[in-house]
Amino acid sequence: MTSTPPGLLAAYDSQLRAEAEMAGARSWHRHGPLLRGVFRHGGFVSYADLDGATGPALDRLIADTVAWFRDETDVARFEWKTRGHDRPADLPDRLLAHGFEPDPPETVMVGRAELLDRPVALPDGITVRRAGEDGDLLTDVTEASRLQAEVFGDDAGPAPAELAERLASAPERTGLWLAEDADGTVVCAGRLEVVPDTEFAGLWGGGTLAAWRGRGIYRALVAARARAAQTMGAVYLHSDCTDMSRPILERSGLVPVTTTTPYLWRR
């Protein structure tokens, strides 16, 4: 078990890429160094590395993948997820040349779950609980989705019914945590998902209403999820962070190890 940035990056690369990113796919297959999957929300390309492909060979790999998703699937879009330490360095330029468009880059954060399990004082009237406990799961998920849409925009995550179904089907490896004010309004929410067959759990969808930021609520939800992750058997936590959440997660104990930029192809 390691807590140094190089060691955390090595654990991330060895456990969270390739097959790990195909969890939940309707179908997936290998094509050279790539794994190409079809999910409910679209297509996804993963790989541990590109097996030394450069220049024309890399262009052929990209072109073959675009043709496969375009001609052999019905997805409206697919994502080729790059990392900042990947080689070759001109991969982003080659993806752009094949019609991909980048989403904003995010920082990949990793840390040991036990280091994030720390007490955080909450503002008066704020309580933290797991969705579905002392409430209806679908109602809780719907309220969390409404908050995340307000914080991140309408396309902030899976539909409430889909997410509630996923949470109900695997409570031993996934969950949603809420922070509520005295009136029962959800002011902060975030998910936890253990990655099957790895030592990792992911922190996803974390957001706080603007009026409640800077008061420790998000850190309290991180701590609650870190505590739960350990009971679920996870050693490490990881998250793809925006500039807004990175400082909070760094204070909580996560370490930046690389960056990630999704490149999207759309019909």
What are the tens digits of pLDDT across the range 144-197?
Answer: 999 988 888 766 567 899 899 989 999 999 999 999 999 999 999 999 999 999
Angle (CA) 8 4 205, round 5°: 45
Contacts of 153 (CB under 8 A, 6+ apart): none
Query: Do residues 78 and 136 both lie within one domain?
Result: no
- Gap between the Cα atoms of 149 and 144, Å rounded: 9
- How many domains does the chain fold into? 2
Give the closest residue to 265 by CA, choosing from 104, 103, 99, 105.
99
In the prediction, which pLDDT does 154 show?
61
Using the predicted structure, report yes or no on whether residue 110 has a pLDDT greater than 60. Answer: yes
Domain assignment present for residue 267? The answer is: no
Query: Do residues 67 and 164 both lie within one domain?
Result: no
Query: Do residues 24 and 95 both lie within one domain?
Result: yes
Using the predicted structure, report yes or no on whether residue 1 has a pLDDT greater than 70. Answer: no
What are the tens digits of pLDDT across the range 16-60?
Answer: 999 999 988 999 999 999 999 999 889 999 999 999 999 999 999
pLDDT band (50, 70, 90) for residue 213: very high
In the prediction, which pLDDT does 49 show?
93
Q: Which CATH number goes with the domain that contains 214?
A: 3.40.630.30
| Mean pLDDT, residues 90-115 taken together | 96
In the prediction, which pLDDT does 24 show?
86
Structural contact between residues 95 and 231, judged by C-beta atoms closer than 8 angstroms: no
Per the structure, the complete domain to which residue 76 belongs is given by 5-105
What are the tens digits of pLDDT across the range 63-80?
Answer: 999 999 999 999 999 999
pLDDT band (50, 70, 90) for residue 243: confident
What are the tens digits of pLDDT across the range 156-167?
Answer: 567 899 899 989
**Helix ranges restricted to H, 121-216:** 137-152, 160-169
| Mean pLDDT, residues 218-245 taken together | 94
Antiparallel, parallel or unpaired: β 101-102 and 106-112: unpaired
